[in-house]
């Protein structure tokens, strides 16, 4: 079986920073360290950190007063920040800097009197955080049909924002429809969509032209992993989302197939290797890596933590 690995795949700089934040907090302050929600959307990562002494909670009420608490990479609403202050929690904010950038844009537009439109996935933690970062109302949309249903007067001051982990192609279509309907609408540069999302989607686009089937390694609650899977299926390449090798179904393949493998931005490489090991039990493998963009982005740890030497 011919295996072609996407390049790039797996961890992005924001995820590396978030995981390093929890590990460094444990090393610096000792267990337990409390983390509001999953630090990233990957159960293997979460379990590994849990084994090291991290305690994941859904709400801050479960955190002892004054305890060290980490906010996840997805960001939080101001109400959560207020609750943390009331409980006198020692907060370390692991929000991805690219998500923080969206928060800043939202506040800047709101301060100038713009009505805000957010292109995002309802219920996603990043979207909940963005919606709760400004006092002004924000209209949440996801599709071209929802754009067409908007009823803002033509002279309304409008600005749009985007969830960082969406499909670049889908977002581009929604933004195009928005600008056609409201020519004076303003928004951030298209490059503000997460660089890692764009790179992984481009790699999958190139990979689908060379393989019979694609495996995307990641969890079902990871927006960028599920988007990669949808992108492949939409292009006509059968695609399956698996969290590790235990979920690989040999009925998807024949030994002569070319199989592509990619991974969401919150997926550790060990999970990719576990999928490869599962395939190796099915057929002898020839493994190659697709030439692609190398990523050298690094983010500093949040204030209050000492970087490893």
Query: Residue 88, Cα to own-chain centre: how many angstroms?
Result: 29
Distance CA 205, CA 255 (A): 23
Q: Is 224 exposed, middle or buried (0-12, 13-18, 19+ CB in 10 A)?
A: buried
Same domain, 128 and 59: no
Same domain, 204 and 281: yes
Same domain, 28 and 112: no
Which of 73, 96, 119 corresponds to the end of one domain?
Answer: 96
Same domain, 104 and 184: yes
So what's the pLDDT on residue 168? 77
Same domain, 278 and 204: yes
Q: Is residue 132 part of a domain?
A: yes
Of 166, 76, 168, 69, which Cα lies nearest the Cα of 121? 166
Same domain, 187 and 200: no
Q: How far is CA 257 from CA 6, 187, 260, in A?
A: 16, 44, 10
Q: What count of Cα atoms within 13 Å lies in the side-chain half-sphere of residue 24?
A: 20
The one-character DSSP state at 302 is: P
pTM recorded for the entire structure: 0.91
State pLDDT tens for residues 118-128. 999 999 999 99
Q: What range does the domain containing 133 cover?
A: 98-192
Q: Is residue 301 part of a domain?
A: no
Same domain, 229 and 186: no
Q: Is residue 294 part of a domain?
A: no
Positions of the chain with pLDDT lower than 70, given as ranges: 189-193, 308-309
Which of 40, 66, 96 corresponds to the end of one domain?
Answer: 96
Same domain, 187 and 111: yes
Q: Is residue 306 part of a domain?
A: no
Q: Is residue 107 part of a domain?
A: yes
CATH number assigned to the domain comprising residue 109:
3.40.1010.20
Same domain, 83 and 105: no
Same domain, 129 and 165: yes
Same domain, 148 and 102: yes
So what's the pLDDT on residue 195? 84
Q: Is residue 297 part of a domain?
A: no
Task: Give how many domains the chain has, as a whole number.
Answer: 3
Q: Is residue 51 part of a domain?
A: yes
Of 210, 300, 197, 218, which Cα lies nearest the Cα of 262? 218
Same domain, 102 and 89: no
Q: Is residue 296 part of a domain?
A: no
Distance CA 50, CA 2 (A): 36
Q: Which residues are catalytic?
A: 126
Which of 96, 131, 160 corresponds to the end of one domain?
Answer: 96
Distance CA 76, CA 306 (A): 23
């Amino acid at each position: 079986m011919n295996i072609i690995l996407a390049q790039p795949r797996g961890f992005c700089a924001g995820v590396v920073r978030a995981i390093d934040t929890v590990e460094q907090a444990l090393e610096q302050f000792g267990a337990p360290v409390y983390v509001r929600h999953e630090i990233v959307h990957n159960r293997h990562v979460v379990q590994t950190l849990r084994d090291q002494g991290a305690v994941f909670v859904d709400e801050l009420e479960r955190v002892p007063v004054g305890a060290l608490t980490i906010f996840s990479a997805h960001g939080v609403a101001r109400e959560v920040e207020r609750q943390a202050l009331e409980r006198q929690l020692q907060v370390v904010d692991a929000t991805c800097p690219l998500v923080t950038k969206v928060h800043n844009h939202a506040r800047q537009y709101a301060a100038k009197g713009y009505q805000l439109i957010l292109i995002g996935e309802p219920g996603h933690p990043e979207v909940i955080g963005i919606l709760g970062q400004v006092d002004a109302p924000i209209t949440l949309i996801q599709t071209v049909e929802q754009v067409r249903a908007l009823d803002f007067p033509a002279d309304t001051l409008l600005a749009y924002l985007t969830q960082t982990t969406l499909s670049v192609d889908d977002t581009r279509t929604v933004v195009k429809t928005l600008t056609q309907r409201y020519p004076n609408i303003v928004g951030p540069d298209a490059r503000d969509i997460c660089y890692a999302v764009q790179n992984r989607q481009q790699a999958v686009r190139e990979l689908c032209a060379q393989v019979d089937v694609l495996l995307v390694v990641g969890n079902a609650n990871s927006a960028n992993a599920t988007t990669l899977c949808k992108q492949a299926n939409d292009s006509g390449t059968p695609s399956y989302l698996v969290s590790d090798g235990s979920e690989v179904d040999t009925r998807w393949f024949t030994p002569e197939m070319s199989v592509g493998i990619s991974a969401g931005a919150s997926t550790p490489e060990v999970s990719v290797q576990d999928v490869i090991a599962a395939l190796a039990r099915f057929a002898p493998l020839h493994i190659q890596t697709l030439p692609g963009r190398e990523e050298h982005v690094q983010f500093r740890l949040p204030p209050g933590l000492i970087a490893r030497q």
